[in-house]
Amino acid sequence: MVAEALPLRSSPVVREWMKHWPLLVGFAVLAIPTVITLGQESWSRESGAHGPIVLATGAWLISRQTKSFRDLARPSSRLLTGVLLLAGLLLGVIGHAFDFVTFQAAGLYGVGLAMLYSVFGLPALLKNWFPLFYLGFCIPPPRWVIDQVTAPLKQFVSSVATGVLHAAGLPISREGVTIQVGAYQLLVEDACSGMNSLIGLTAISLFYIYLLRGASVRYAGVLTLLVIPIAIVGNILRIMVLILLTNYFGDQVAQGFAHFTAGIFLFGVSLLLVFLADNLLGRLLPKSWRASA
């Protein structure tokens, strides 16, 4: 005899969240246009490709912690709830009015925090801080921040990549972020600077640490510091691969499917290096560093 599947509404998680369905409906009204905008302006680009992954896994983490939220629930301040809601809505309105996706996403994030605070109170949010912090990676940084950070990174990675290949005998020269190899001229773009990989790698690494090690702030901080050089080294290798592809197979090959494939492959290599670093840290650091805060 085959057991009859339990209806979805019998799930404790679903029942818990359905108690607050008016809040969920209001949040959905705000979230849908913001998510559409994020999909069009951020998540469809390499710089924001981690966004949907963070959103899905972050929502799963919060649903997974529903019992913890419920057990730690305490009364909330109506004044603080109102301030948080007003700040989030104001950011969202400004973002929509001026087509500033960072403010739109930050406003939606603020409204979500206000709703969680209103329902569960501050102790529950502090105890389950990681999923809330992790979801903040869905907010794309302002363009001017990316430009300021990537400018020196582009100079550095292009200098190292061309220096190594020149020492290996490749006919290559560099002026700023413009690289001349044979008859081809390449421009190191933001995608190759390391900033995009850094954000995505940091988010995925923190998610991995939380599931495997727990919410240890000190341990997460140490491994995150290691993510920075790993992301930069990965992008140096990426630039070197693209230069070699351009030199030996032409610009059409290097800037076509191979460009995307090299990015995905080297991101995977960087992620494996993060896992290796985690394994080494797990052996070297004392247990007190790996315990949840």
Q: Which residues contact 196 (CB under 8 A, 6 or more apart)?
A: 46, 47, 190
**From 138, 192, 218, 290, the catalytic residue:** 192
Are 95 and 108 in contact by the 8 Å Cβ rule? The answer is no
Distance of CA 220 to the CA centre of its chain: 15
**From 138, 174, 213, 238, the catalytic residue:** 238
Residue with tokens 């080297």, as numbered in its chain = 266
238 is catalytic: yes
Q: Residue 179 and residue 159: Cα distance in Å, rounded?
A: 9
Return the structure tokens found at 160: 């190292």
138 is catalytic: no
Return the structure tokens found at 44: 């469809």
Cα dihedral sign, 139-143-149-153: positive
Phi-psi region of 182 (alpha: psi -120 to 50; beta: other; left: phi over 0): left
Q: Residue 72 and residue 59: Cα distance in Å, rounded?
A: 19
Q: What is the side-by-side strand order in the sheet with 172-175?
A: 172-175, 178-181, 184-187
Are 205 and 130 in contact by the 8 Å Cβ rule? The answer is no
Supply the residues annotated as catalytic.
Answer: 192, 238
